[in-house]
Amino acid sequence: MSLALKYPLGIQTFSKIREKNYLYVDKTALVYDLIQQGEVYFFSRPRRFGKSLLISTFEALFLGQKALFDNLAIANTDYDFAAYPVVKLEFSKNEFATADSLRDYINSAITRIAKDHQIELTEDTYTQRFDELIVKLHLKYQQKVVLLVDEYDKPILNNFNKPVLTEIKQVIAAFYGVIKPLDEHLRFVFITGVSKFAKVSVFSGMNSLRDISMSRQYATLCGITGQELEDNFSAGITELAKLEDMDKPAILGKIKHWYNGYQFHHRAIGVYNPFSLLSLFLNQEFINYWYDTGTPAFLLNLLQQQQFDLKDLTEFAIGDNAFAASDPQDINILSVFVQTGYLTIKAYNDPLYTLDFPNYEVKKSFFDSVVDRYSCIKSGVGQNFMVTLTEHLNAGRLDDFFETLKRFFANIPYDLDVNLEKHYHALFYAIFTLMGFEIEAEVRTNIGRIDCVLQTQDTIYIIEFKLNDTKEAALQQIHDKQYAQKYQGSNKEIVLLGVEFDHKIRNIGGTVAQKL
């Protein structure tokens, strides 16, 4: 790997990147435009997307650190690099298990900032002290204050479905409720988060706030476009192509398949997750970097609690409400999946959006997490099962395939409170998806719905599941409703599979297969 190019993986401080000559993909043209066009913004992006670096960039800019911006786009504008007092709050660095811990953090941050500026605060509550800090900073420097908030929603995401959430929301609402009356003292406000949550005063109480999360104009503010990839990572692309024994178009196609696909407006350019790209070029290996950052537990909890059908994640057409603010105590699951980066825009037919996983990396990360959670096995063990299952199915060894599957399902604890049929359907769907085969769930026919259709290179498996009924009944339903009819003439072997779930043993009770 070229020693001249330094990749800033995990570095979220703009000054460090610039001073130590790390690679920086120049976003300052958009930063300049934001400053010129408005004053109070909210911007959501998934984790590991560069939100903290963006906040740090604004901080350096408003502190007047002009030298850091030499040779960047904003240096060629009329921006004057005037210095302003900056208040930066980084909620991403704390866990916030209680409302008191959140109040303490805000209070401590206010006290530290006041001390840094030799300002004495006399008020008592965290909201009063925040108000006092902003006013006194303005008076001291005769310059309005810049307020930067990184991941405002971390306290909410950490406390989904916990009794403390109501009090956490109240603390947040009270804090952001102070900002609106401070308008005359504020030069610029930029708030980031993963999700957009209503009823916390960030959006309901700040009338001047502009949400640019799904703005076409700022769709590439975080993330890396295909052109930026080629312009900034040319050496890494060349090295990776040699290692993979591929030409440039082929290696770019593979990079795109793995890591591209995030669409933040239906007419905007798609972008790559910067964390995954930087990891790729540092490690020179195509692996699942998103999974290493962990699927948020609250997403998996939501799936199980709402008994959400996994196939509906990518087959539903949905309106603008998928991108709107939602109440964290009455959550729209698709909204959360979009805002956390697990789903993105794949098509738009006014007024409806079709959603899908952005790329192979995220899709695999998600289904790995589902398999681990729904089967209750140790993280990572599922991959060994996937390899074995894939080998058996490719070889047509159905008995071995289902015996392996039974050992897999045997890990599900007996005291797990789930709707069994939906639970097993979800687990089957996740397993087949990870195996890399073409899979369709609840396939419509003219007289019914097939539970599952799985296609390998040579075979089409038509599968019907039965809970508290027999495998023979499942097979008979396939015959009675002529599920195989639409697949005849496909030049592939067709195999009908009846699968019986045994409620008592919480596992596959039996299977029956029939070739047409």
pLDDT in tens, 26-83: 999 999 999 999 999 999 999 889 999 999 999 999 999 999 999 999 999 999 999 9
What is the chain's percent helix, strand, coil content, to nearest 5?
45, 20, 35
Q: What percent of the chain has pLDDT over 70?
A: 90
Statement to judge: residues 351 and 432 lie in one domain: no
Which whole number is the average pLDDT over 351-366? 90
In a domain, 81, yes or no: yes
Statement to judge: residues 98 and 173 lie in one domain: yes
Three-state DSSP state, 508: strand
In a domain, 220, yes or no: no
Most confident of 39-53, 298-312, 477-491: 39-53
d(CA 392, CA 101): 52
Statement to judge: residues 246 and 316 lie in one domain: no
Contacts of residue 161, defined as CB under 8 A and 6 or more positions apart, other chains included, come to: 298, 301, 305
How sure is the predictor about 397, in pLDDT bands with cuts at 50, 70 and 90? very high
Statement to judge: residues 155 and 237 lie in one domain: no
What angle (nearest 5°) sits at the alpha carbon of residue 262, between those of residues 260 and 266?
Answer: 130
Statement to judge: residues 47 and 98 lie in one domain: yes
Per-residue model confidence (pLDDT) at position 381: 57
* Last residue within a domain, chosen from 240, 263, 285: 285
Per-residue model confidence (pLDDT) at position 301: 77
Three-state DSSP state, 310: coil
Three-state DSSP state, 501: strand
Is there a contact between 32 and 74 (Cβ–Cβ < 8 Å)? yes
Is there a contact between 150 and 43 (Cβ–Cβ < 8 Å)? no
Look up residue 486 and give its DSSP letter: G
Closest by Cα among 418, 425, 417, 416 to 310? 425
Statement to judge: residues 44 and 170 lie in one domain: yes
* Last residue within a domain, chosen from 360, 390, 411: 360
Q: At what angle do helices 420-434 and 360-375 cross, to 10 degrees?
A: 140
State the chain's maximal CA–CA distance in angstroms. Answer: 84
Q: In what order do the strands lie in the sheet with 459-467?
A: 438-445, 448-455, 459-467, 493-502, 507-515
Tell me what the pLDDT averaged over the chain comes to: 88
In DSSP notation, 143-175 reads SPEEEEEE-TTHHHHTTTTSTTHHHHHHHHHHH
Neighbour-count burial for 62-72, b at 16+ CB within 10 Å, e otherwise: bbeebebbeeb
Statement to judge: residues 80 and 189 lie in one domain: yes
CB count within 10 Å of CB 351 equals: 9
Statement to judge: residues 205 and 331 lie in one domain: no
Domain that holds residue 498: 377-515
Per-residue model confidence (pLDDT) at position 446: 62
How sure is the predictor about 378, in pLDDT bands with cuts at 50, 70 and 90? low
Per-residue model confidence (pLDDT) at position 502: 79
Alpha helices, DSSP H only, in 142-271? Answer: 154-157, 165-177, 226-232, 234-244, 248-259
How sure is the predictor about 333, in pLDDT bands with cuts at 50, 70 and 90? confident
Neighbour-count burial for 126-153, b at 16+ CB within 10 Å, e otherwise: bbebbbbbbebbbeeeeebbbbbbbbbb
CB count within 10 Å of CB 455 equals: 16
Statement to judge: residues 168 and 202 lie in one domain: yes
In a domain, 3, yes or no: no
User: CATH number, domain at 150?
Assistant: 3.40.50
Tokens 């023979």 label which residue?
A: 472
Strand partners, 352: 349
Statement to judge: residues 127 and 24 lie in one domain: yes
Per-residue model confidence (pLDDT) at position 1: 38
In a domain, 482, yes or no: yes
Two tokens at 490? 């496909």
- Each as own residue / partner, the long-range contacts of residues 237-244 (CB below 8 Å, 24 or more positions apart, any chain) are 239/1, 239/2, 239/284, 240/280, 240/281, 240/284, 243/284, 244/286
In a domain, 345, yes or no: yes
pLDDT in tens, 101-146: 999 999 999 999 999 999 999 999 999 999 999 999 999 999 999 9
In a domain, 242, yes or no: yes
d(CA 233, CA 274): 12
Is there a contact between 412 and 438 (Cβ–Cβ < 8 Å)? no
In a domain, 216, yes or no: no
Q: In what order do the strands lie in the sheet with 186-193?
A: 86-90, 145-150, 186-193, 40-44, 210-211
In a domain, 5, yes or no: no
pLDDT in tens, 188-229: 999 999 888 765 667 766 667 899 999 999 999 999 999 999
Statement to judge: residues 186 and 80 lie in one domain: yes
Per-residue pLDDT for 95 more than 60?
A: yes
Number of structural domains found in the chain: 4
Per-residue model confidence (pLDDT) at position 477: 93
> CA distances (Å), 236 to each of 186, 239, 276, 283, 289, in order?
43, 5, 14, 10, 17
Statement to judge: residues 281 and 302 lie in one domain: no
* Last residue within a domain, chosen from 155, 184, 211: 211
